[in-house]
Chains A and B, each alone.
Chain A
């Protein structure tokens, strides 16, 4: 396939993200990366679970966590997962502008999530004096939730650079795999969050 066919395809195939060998490689490679990330987060979850009660007489999960904020955060992130599905739907229909619109919404929802998380952390620090250094529980909490937050931040920056770079050139076989890879990453962030709200917040509330 010549460069021209990749960058300016006459028709976009049904699955543009997997039309080239590079695209298929990227798709598979990124899935494997997510497999590795699964173990990465499992290590963090395991650490958190073993240290969740090590509060060193500081505030505990039950004292601090409120469900309202976490619920809103959850809905924001879940919805952003759906909006990225919409974006990929429009990609497959070769509707570039609609894809960009839904990707934009996805990014904004992600930003909303991130703002609430920053607010939450500030709240714990100012209200309870609960920091990264106050106890083993504190270290484990901020590391686990912060690693997830870091992934969200990186995702938003990645999305922004993808959208800006491709704003004026439409879909082709070179950037379709990139958008698709981002969407996989974003779903994975949501997967991790499902376990974060379950293990950290809900179980923390239950006791």
Chain B
């Protein structure tokens, strides 16, 4: 009934609905759409890089434009594609997995999304306003402080706004998991994806503030004449590197840990077995997160921190291989003896294990200080981090999308298209990046615009570029699959995989209140327990009653929009009056919207028991 009502309301009100929604399931759609859009942009940038490097001394793009493309490729993929796609999966699945009706702060959830989206748009506006940032995604000072034009300013303001949104997301998930678990859902009964969401949120909470301050310092330096990184006034450029990597290293665990959660759930579901070594999996996640804060200087081995500091950070880095290894073996042991179904979600997960292990192995190699002097800033490092970020995070996102797509939309992605996309992408991925290890070892530096003929780099680069097109083809087929599924996809029940966790105990897509009655959880894999020992359905933990729901709100969009305008203002306030006006005007819009939120009572509404009973008929 509600579906037909939605269709009748027309496009205008559907857009308004998404602009004002505070429902975590719809915010998940927004994150996936926004992240998907930026993933395409970042992918196009990647293709441009590989076309430029297809042959020696190519002149496909100019040197300056090349710098902008590599900077935007890295920044877009990390901040605007991978993170929001993961936040989308978390929003879609985590509250359902713990048996919650909503997240703790629905308003902040919406605000977090709009800050990310408008921050990302602000960053990409730079393409049309005098050039994109060109100081690399790491924006090292003094390159970033002296880069002419406004490119780097867009980087600073765009990331500042998007980063604030991510921080809110982190706090929101933490409180949701601590305060809103269903009766019986103890910490050690939470699905691994919920656990990794929890740990990731802690990392977000403690890592992003360092980036916030780094960006503030850079902004003060470029736009307000401060001297943090200016050696002539006593500044020190290394401060930026420290702040960036104090954030940046936990960030890579922010990207990979949620995917570990996805794989754990997928392996366990499609092996029809309880996850092997659940407790060890939880604790290894915690250990990875803990160690993740103590290794940032391994990105700075060649800076000259001295042998003592380098050694400490080297040892700490290598230690991370231990809990990660524990995880790899637990996944293998989960598969061992299981009744395995190989579908698209499972293919991405199975492919992850060897791909990521290669990335982990090269990680230990680059963690070796003496050897790192050889690898540093070469294609070896490029190959390493693409093996972990693509082989880990991107594979994880695809696995998660295939796994939860039916839960989110009620239709299952087409398997034939899904498998084709996987094989194209998988082959392309290894073609592109495996050869780059050797290009790096032969001395090809990263970020170079051209390379010379006959230095042994020609064939390797050509192979790498061909691989990139395979990956692009895989992504295109995945998007075709989405369109095909939306139009003609097979409709599925609430539990298409014979699932184990709570999200499969409710309809697909779930009603907006998720659980009519909160479920009573009796152990790990609660739905499976009911299937084995009960009647296959969750036992309600409460009688049917009124359900409290939050109100929709347009204020999150307004706050983000105000900051978006103010962002332009900060960038241009030194150039002209309009910039100054935008700076104050934008801040006024943002602050007044916040004040409105603060003074207006918003108690939400109730869905009455009678309505719930009627809907059941």
Q: Interface on A for B, CB 8 Å cutoff?
A: 1-3, 6-7, 21, 24-25, 28-29, 32-33, 35-37, 39-40, 43-44, 46-47, 50-51, 53-56, 132-140, 143, 158, 161-162, 165, 174, 178
Query: What residues on B are CB-neighbors of A54 within 8 Å?
Result: 233-236
Q: Mark B19-35, 1 if CB is under 8 A from A, else 0.
A: 00000000000000000
- Give the complex CA separation of A51 and B599 in angstroms: 42
- Give the complex CA separation of A50 and B241 in angstroms: 13
Query: What residues on B are CB-neighbors of A40 within 8 Å?
Result: 209-210, 212-213
A43 and B228 contact, Cβ closer than 8 Å, known pairs A32-B174, A56-B233: no
Of residues 537 through 562 on chain B, the ones whose CB sits less than 8 Å from some CB of chain A are 548
Residue B601 at the A interface, CB < 8 A? yes
| Most chain A CB within a 10 A radius of its CB, from B105, B175, B217, B234 | B234
Query: What residues on B are CB-neighbors of A3 within 8 Å?
Result: 603
Closest beta carbon of chain A to B538's beta carbon, Å = 21
Interface residue from B179, B216, B601, B606 paired with A28 (Cβ < 8 Å): B179
Query: What residues on B are CB-neighbors of A43 within 8 Å?
Result: 209-210, 212-214, 243, 246
Q: Mark B210-227, 1 if CB is under 8 A from A, else 0.
A: 101110110011001111
A29 and B105 contact, Cβ closer than 8 Å, known pairs A3-B603, A37-B209: yes
Interface residue from B208, B224, B226, B236 paired with A50 (Cβ < 8 Å): B236
Residue B171 at the A interface, CB < 8 A? yes
Query: What residues on A are CB-neighbors of B205 within 8 Å?
Result: 32, 35-36
Query: What residues on B are CB-neighbors of A158 within 8 Å?
Result: 598
- Give the complex CA separation of A169 and B178 in angstroms: 32
CB closest residue in chain A, given B201: A32
- Give the complex CA separation of A81 and B192 in angstroms: 42
- Give the complex CA separation of A200 and B186 in angstroms: 45
B171 and A29 contact, CB distance less than 8 A: yes
A56 and B601 contact, CB distance less than 8 A: no
A136 and B598 contact, Cβ closer than 8 Å, known pairs A3-B603, A43-B214, A43-B243: no
A165 and B209 contact, CB distance less than 8 A: no
A174 and B601 contact, Cβ closer than 8 Å, known pairs A44-B213, A50-B236: yes
Residue B239 at the A interface, CB < 8 A? yes
CB closest residue in chain A, given B603: A3
Query: What residues on A are CB-neighbors of B167 within 8 Å?
Result: 36
CB closest residue in chain B, given A133: B225
- Give the complex CA separation of A138 and B206 in angstroms: 27
- Give the complex CA separation of A55 and B483 in angstroms: 61
| Most chain A CB within a 10 A radius of its CB, from B207, B221, B226, B233 | B233
Q: List the 9 closest pairs (A to B, CB-CB), nearest first.
A: A54-B234, A40-B209, A43-B213, A139-B226, A136-B235, A136-B234, A39-B209, A25-B104, A56-B234
- Give the complex CA separation of A161 and B592 in angstroms: 12
Query: What residues on A are CB-neighbors of B235 within 8 Å?
Result: 51, 54, 136, 139
- Give the complex CA separation of A24 and B181 in angstroms: 14
- Give the complex CA separation of A137 and B228 in angstroms: 8
Query: What residues on A are CB-neighbors of B208 within 8 Å?
Result: 36
Residue B530 at the A interface, CB < 8 A? no
Query: What residues on A are CB-neighbors of B210 within 8 Å?
Result: 39-40, 43
Residue B487 at the A interface, CB < 8 A? no
Query: What residues on B are CB-neighbors of A135 within 8 Å?
Result: 227, 233-234
Q: What class of interface size applies to chain B in its complex with A?
A: 35 or more
Residue B310 at the A interface, CB < 8 A? no
Q: Mark B251-273, 1 if CB is under 8 A from A, else 0.
A: 00000000000000000000000
Closest beta carbon of chain B to A176's beta carbon, Å = 13
Interface residue from B104, B178, B226 paired with A132 (Cβ < 8 Å): B226
Closest beta carbon of chain B to A93's beta carbon, Å = 24
A138 and B227 contact, CB distance less than 8 A: yes
A139 and B603 contact, CB distance less than 8 A: no
- Give the complex CA separation of A115 and B597 in angstroms: 29
Query: What residues on A are CB-neighbors of B214 within 8 Å?
Result: 43
Residue B595 at the A interface, CB < 8 A? yes
A55 and B234 contact, CB distance less than 8 A: yes
A136 and B243 contact, Cβ closer than 8 Å, known pairs A32-B174, A35-B205, A54-B236: no
Query: What residues on B are CB-neighbors of A161 within 8 Å?
Result: 595, 598-599
B172 and A139 contact, CB distance less than 8 A: no
Query: What residues on A are CB-neighbors of B216 within 8 Å?
Result: 143
- Give the complex CA separation of A29 and B108 in angstroms: 11
Query: What residues on B are CB-neighbors of A44 within 8 Å?
Result: 213
Q: Mark B593-617, 1 if CB is under 8 A from A, else 0.
A: 0010011010100100000000000
Interface residue from B228, B601, B606 paired with A7 (Cβ < 8 Å): B601
Residue B447 at the A interface, CB < 8 A? no
B172 and A29 contact, CB distance less than 8 A: yes
| Most chain B CB within a 10 A radius of its CB, from A3, A7, A24, A32 | A32
A132 and B225 contact, CB distance less than 8 A: yes
CB closest residue in chain B, given A173: B603
15 contacts between A and B (CB under 8 A): A6-B603, A7-B603, A21-B179, A29-B174, A36-B205, A40-B209, A51-B235, A54-B235, A132-B225, A136-B233, A139-B221, A139-B226, A143-B216, A161-B598, A162-B598
Residue B230 at the A interface, CB < 8 A? yes
Residue B491 at the A interface, CB < 8 A? no
B105 and A25 contact, CB distance less than 8 A: yes
- Give the complex CA separation of A97 and B214 in angstroms: 44
B206 and A132 contact, CB distance less than 8 A: no
Query: What residues on B are CB-neighbors of A178 within 8 Å?
Result: 598
- Give the complex CA separation of A161 and B595 in angstroms: 8
Residue B274 at the A interface, CB < 8 A? no
Closest beta carbon of chain B to A115's beta carbon, Å = 22
Query: What residues on A are CB-neighbors of B548 within 8 Å?
Result: 1
- Give the complex CA separation of A140 and B230 in angstroms: 12
Query: What residues on B are CB-neighbors of A53 within 8 Å?
Result: 234
- Give the complex CA separation of A2 and B606 in angstroms: 8
4 further A-B contacts with Cβ under 8 Å, apart from A54-B236, A132-B224, are A28-B179, A36-B208, A43-B212, A165-B599
Residue B189 at the A interface, CB < 8 A? no
| Most chain B CB within a 10 A radius of its CB, from A40, A158, A161, A178 | A40
- Give the complex CA separation of A53 and B233 in angstroms: 11
Residue B242 at the A interface, CB < 8 A? yes
CB closest residue in chain B, given A46: B242
B228 and A140 contact, CB distance less than 8 A: yes
Query: What residues on B are CB-neighbors of A47 within 8 Å?
Result: 213, 217, 228, 239, 243
Query: What residues on A are CB-neighbors of B234 within 8 Å?
Result: 51, 53-56, 135-137
Query: What residues on A are CB-neighbors of B595 within 8 Å?
Result: 161
A51 and B213 contact, CB distance less than 8 A: no
A32 and B175 contact, CB distance less than 8 A: yes
